[in-house]
Each structure stands twice: as C-alpha cells, then as structure tokens.
A = this chain, B = another copy of it.
Amino acid sequence: MSKAVKANAVVGQSGGPTAVINQSLVGVIEAVRKTKAIGKLLGARHGVSGIVSEDFIDLGGIDRALLERVAGTPAAALGSTRDKPDEKYCHKIAKVFAKNNVRYFFYIGGNDSADTARIVNELANQAGYELHVFHIPKTIDNDLRVTDHCPGYGSAAKFVASAFMGDHRDSAALPGIKINIVMGRHAGWLTAAAALGRKDATDGPHLVYVPEVPFSTKSFLEDVKRVYGKLGRCQIAVSEGVADKTHTPIIAALAKELGRHVERDSHGNIQLSGSGALGDFLADYLKKRMKSQYKSLRVRADTFGYLQRSFPGFASPVDQAEARECGRKAVELAMSGNVDGSVAIKRLKGDKYKVEFVRAELKDVARVTKDMPRSYLNKAGNHVTKAFFNYALPLTGGLPEIGKLF
C-alpha cells in the first residue's frame, strides 16, 4: 500500500509556444520517473484551465521514443492557455490539488505563469497544505527577471537571425528596401537577435528598431534614406511593439497618416500579432516619402509571425539542452525540501559560455518583465552593440554559414 500514499504531481504549460517548451516538459517527466517518490505525474491539458476542469493525462506510461519526439516538437504538447488566474481561480486550483493529493506543481510559462504559481503557492501555505510549486521559465520574448535568459529565446533568436541572413542575400541579389517585423510587444530581445548573423557593415540588418527606444517616423525615414543612399539597399528589423514617446503603437500614427483601417481586439487594443499591417504601413510610408527621389524604388515587408515560435527542426541545441535541464532541475529542487520557486539560468564568468541552474523566488519573477539594457543598443537607438552579440550569440548554438562572391 506504500505506493497508494505517494503524493502526486501536476505539470502544465502556458502562454505562447516556443520551440523547446516540450524539452522542459520531458525534463520534468524524466526527473519525476527518476525520483520514485512521486505517485502519478498528471499533465494538465491547456494549463490552468485543464487543472480546474480536471482534464489530466497520466504521463506515466509514455515510452522513451515518443517522449524524445515530443521534446523535439515545438508548441505546448499538453496544450496551452491564455487564462491569467485571479485569486478565486487559484482557489479552485488548490481545491483540485487537495482532492487529487497533488503535492507538486510544475508550471512552464512566462511571467504570468510565475504569478499564477506564486498565488497558488501562497494559498496552499495559508491553508497549511503542503505543496511544492515550481515555475519553469519559457518565452521567446526573453523578458523574465532574475534568469540570465529564457528557454525558448535561443531557438527563436536562431530562427530570426538566420531568416535575416538569408533574406539579406535575397535583398543583395534583387536590391531594394526590405522591412521585417519581428515579435516583441514590450521588449526588443528577439528583434535585436536579427543582427546576430552580421559579419560587416554591408550585411543586414542595417537598422534595428526595438520597443525600448521611442520610435520616430521622421528619424526612421532619415535612417533609411542614409543607408539606401550609401548601399543601394536597406534591410530593417522592426519590433511589432515599436511605439512613440507617448507609448502609442506606431501603427496607429501610420494608419492615420496613410488613411488606413487598423484591426483592434475586443479590449480596443491594436492587434499586433497575426497581422501584416505594421510592415505594410511602414513600406507604404517609405514609398510615399521616397518615390519622388527614387522612381523605381522597391520596398517590401515581411512579418515573420508565428514561425518564430513554432518552426520545427531548427531549434538551438544549446536552448534545447537548457530547457530540458530547467525541467529536471525544477523537480530536483522541489524534492530537496520545503521549497518553492522558479528555475533561473545563471551565466558563469569566463571566456567560454557556461551556465548553472539555480532557484529564484517566485515573487522576483512574477508579473514585471525585463527590458533590454541600454548598453545592448547603440547611441542612436537604431542598432545593437557588441555587448549584445556577446550576450546572445552563444544562445543560438551557432548560425548557418554564408558564402559571398562580392
């Protein structure tokens, strides 16, 4: 009967998918199997919504080969959710945990998920219910505090950097102005990664605009004219979230100037993801303002969209290994005593890239996000610095090689 009294564990995934979010899931599964101190490991379908509806999958019997395939597959294998539980919702979660003798909760997600984990943990503490809650970081936005970087970012950075490298060869072969819109509503980490394949000043992107720097259409136009006048081409990386000094998304100003419609969500917020509008507007704006000078000007815009977080078979091996280890580490930490927290990656000093995995407090990771430091952006605020390269390049695990004839 000793098996029957073993405590159970729940694991869930939340928020926007990444290419390595299932590495962390498989890390949790592996480590739970190893401990033998945990009874059942239940996977909650679609995160917290699957917990309150008790929509669980028993993750015990899945064979090794399938687990490895799942680990290599982008986007939450358990399903994800956009639910941001309030205290009432968290009470329901705690109730389901008590009913099912769940004493371990692993939640893979961003800062909202860390906040959910924090609230659930506090409710359990208040009720005197022993629960070990661990948040496992993931986000292509790379905007979580404490951790040096977030699992999911390295793979998205590799995708975006590679996309810019190939696209710039395209631009060099058929010259013109090319705008690529990169994900990132508040932080520019992923857009900055566009530059990681750059070897010299002729390589693209020639200009990089992130939400941390107020965007001015006037400076933008001047920047583009300068580069285009010099090189005869200009490749530009723009964060979907670029906004002016008053924090108004720039797409609103462009829509007004061009007399265009702009799609809003049910809360009245301008829809930034899953639409090509910002890129199209910026392209139309440049055409409008530059056509008198350059008659046959070729301006194109691409919005990279969901491929940045879901493209398969192209993840960063460094990111994959770290995401797996974050999952394993969460279980190890949870079993190590009466602790809770979030797993953080700590970069060790030295010439060679090396990290260790440590515990962070949930409250230090929850809610507030982390912008890029100013030292990673040049003075003009339209490109990245060498310090950013040193920070981000190792996370990609290497980029494709490019050969040029001129």
**Could you tell me the distance in whole angstroms from the C-beta of A337 to the nearest C-beta in chain B?**
31
Given the interface contacts A70-B404, A70-B405, does A167 sit within 8 Å of B306 by beta carbon?
A: yes
A294 contacts chain B at the CB level, 8 A cutoff: no
Q: Cβ of A79 < 8 Å from any Cβ of B?
A: yes
Of residues 268 through 311 on chain A, the ones whose CB sits less than 8 Å from some CB of chain B are 273-277, 279-280, 283-284, 296, 299-307, 309-311
Which residues of the partner chain B approach A188 to less than 8 Å between Cβ atoms?
none
- Bound-state CA distance A306–B172 (Å) is 13
| CB-based contact B312/A403 at 8 Å | no
* A172 to B68 CA separation, bound complex (whole angstroms): 19
Binary B-proximity of A190-221 (CB < 8 A = 1, otherwise 0):
00000000000000000000000000000000
Residue A144 lies at the interface, judged by CB distance under 8 Å to chain B: no
CB-CB nearest in chain B for A75: B169
- Is A73 a contact partner of B403 (Cβ separation < 8 A)? yes
Known A163-B307, A277-B276; contact A312-B400, beta-carbon cutoff 8 A: yes
Q: Which residues of B contact A276 (CB under 8 A)?
A: 275-277, 279-280, 301, 303
The smallest beta-carbon distance between A127 and chain B, in angstroms, is 31
Question: What are 8 of the A-B contact pairs (CB < 8 Å)?
Answer: A66-B403, A69-B402, A76-B173, A80-B174, A259-B261, A300-B306, A302-B303, A312-B402
5 nearest A-B residue pairs (beta carbon): A276-B276, A69-B403, A274-B300, A313-B400, A302-B305
- Seed contacts A17-B173, A75-B169; 9 additional CB < 8 Å A-B pairs: A17-B169, A46-B173, A71-B403, A73-B401, A77-B405, A79-B406, A82-B174, A169-B312, A260-B260
